[in-house]
Homo-oligomer: A and B are copies of this chain.
């Protein structure tokens, strides 16, 4: 155990757990984790799972633990009720929920919900947003995009999460490729096809009603049947079609999409895919560090007075 340990941050989602041992400045001293997401925890033994990852750290240093993500959902360890937008650092730090863990002070950071009557929700992504704001990577007024299985578009105003919207883009892509007729014509593991991707983005962003997506998806099959697209191009065309539709809809209230600046928090590959799509539609996109969740945990700990 190196000296200076001050906080353990745990990003505990549906499929994986990532734990970070931090010093007072937020430097990562050590990290642990793996496929210990809440869906993979047997018999609800969250305490045992957590202990298996960070027990060694706690034996050596009595530091507080902050957790974010689906661990605070109804299906998780202890439910941390959503905080309504607008939600900033202080709003979240003031609503931590204690988890029943004997050998350390373990608290769960709440998720965020929109103010709408039928609200949109996030759990975990809000820490990346708070972290990006805390480090200055994102401005106090910004448009952030966190793509993935459930893509999040976040509007930051005066340093708080003012509103956001979720798109099921990644999950619909996977479901279409793996469980519909669209996958049958596709070549698996083909090289990236940037031209087909860009063509998909343009077609996906074209005007039309919500139902037109159901029609355009079938057109992926026709394009394959008639040779308008090769089998190796179909996966990237489908990906572009869905991402283009997402980008167009998420920016549909902007008077002028061209020149709109968005900041993307994602892994390199996925972030680059969205950056190319955004630029294809005339937007300016920058990629932020996907590990800013660490900065989020540190900021919460400071705001909650957990660092002593």
Contact = CB atoms under 8 A, between A and B. Distances in A.
B218 A252 contact: no
A119 B225 CA distance: 9
User: For the side of the interface on A, what is the size category?
Assistant: 35 or more
Contacts of A295: none
A210 B249 CA distance: 7
A178 B213 CA distance: 20
Nearest to A149: B181
Contacts of A158: none
A112 to B, nearest CB: 12
B211 A167 contact: yes
B120 A209 contact: no
Q: How many copies does the complex hold?
A: 2
A166 B207 CA distance: 18
A210 B119 contact: no
Contacts of A207: 209
B222 A121 contact: yes
A168 B212 CA distance: 10
Interface stretch (A137-145, A240-248, A300-308): A240-248
B180 A168 contact: yes
Interface string A81-124: 00000000000000000000000000000000000011111000
B214 A167 contact: yes
A166 B165 CA distance: 29
A175 B168 contact: no
A223 B178 CA distance: 26
A211 B168 contact: no
A29 interface: no
A27 interface: no
Interface string A205-229: 0111111111111110011011010
A234 to B, nearest CB: 13
A50 interface: no
A209 B171 contact: no
A296 B178 CA distance: 35
Contact of A214 (B119, B219, B223, B242): B242
Interface in A140-176: 150-151, 165-169, 171-172, 174-176
Contact of A179 (B167, B175, B217, B248): B175
A246 B118 contact: no
A217 B166 CA distance: 9
Interface centre among A176, A204, A218, A223 (most CB of B within 10 A): A218
